[in-house]
Amino acid sequence: MNSALVLVLALFAGVCYGAYNTPDGRIVGGEPTTIERYPHIVQIEFLGVFTNAWGQSCAASILTSRYLVSAAHCFEGIFYDVSRRRIRAGTTHRNTGGQVINVLREINHPSYGVASTYDGDINLVQLVSALSFNPVVQPGSIISQGFVFPDNTPVVHAGWGAVSQGGSASPVLLDVTLYTINQQLCTERYANLTPRPQVVTENMICAGILDVGGKDACQGDSGGPLYYFNNDQTILVGVVSWGHGCANETYPGISTAVSSYTNWIVANAV
């Protein structure tokens, strides 16, 4: 096991718990925050095919000085090439400041898109050179393999995505608190989505403000973190993946459940 990768093995002792038609994410209903609060998050910048300009389009979380965890769908597509991805770490502001490092390779999980369109939407991102750790660039903790949160657990999204559906990206880092939603209920709602039902698997976490809406992650937040706070420790439990619309009251946002892939992460982030 990589000693630089910190795992949280248990949060509730003795208890066993069982973004958007397109995979995009943004923070809706959030508040400005700072990178000092979330030194584990980085921006993933894309080099535009037609603009030939770099811009933040996804996010990721630091595992070690050379490896990040993000969403597989941020590293695919007809125009995808690894040379068109780089990261920016250690800055509150979008597209400016911090450490900028190119991506060497991505390792998309082999199950991505097999069971359903967005199942296994997680990957490892290896950097060309190592991050320089400091107070605003730090490796994070991840949840243990197989852990499932109870319903209505408070969790937090952070990112630079747009602040409203179809709106522009935020110039500064935002965060928002929402709550985990019963898996069966979430599955049933997406199964009844018209005109195209969607599949929610056991490898996903549904979170939002059910039947109220107004808070979510959407375009620009994909690949970014879903956190749980355990006292003063920030624990990565999800990776922003997909959903129907943004902050929809009926259809919660969905993140990849990190706990389904912790062992794979530890074995490959070397």
Task: Give yes or no for a contact between 16 and 151, defined as CB atoms under 8 angstroms apart.
Answer: no
Tokens at 249, concatenated: 């009251």
Q: What angle do CA 150, 153, 156 make, to 5 degrees?
A: 135
8 Å CB contact between 178 and 39: no
Which residues are marked as active site? 73, 121, 222
The token pair at 81 is 């090439």
Which segments of 109-149 are extended strands (E)?
123-127, 141-143
Token pair, residue 94, equals 């979008």
What single string gives the DSSP state of each residue in 58-73?
Answer: EEEEESSSSEEEE-GG
* Distance, CA of 95 to CA of 130 (rounded, Å): 20
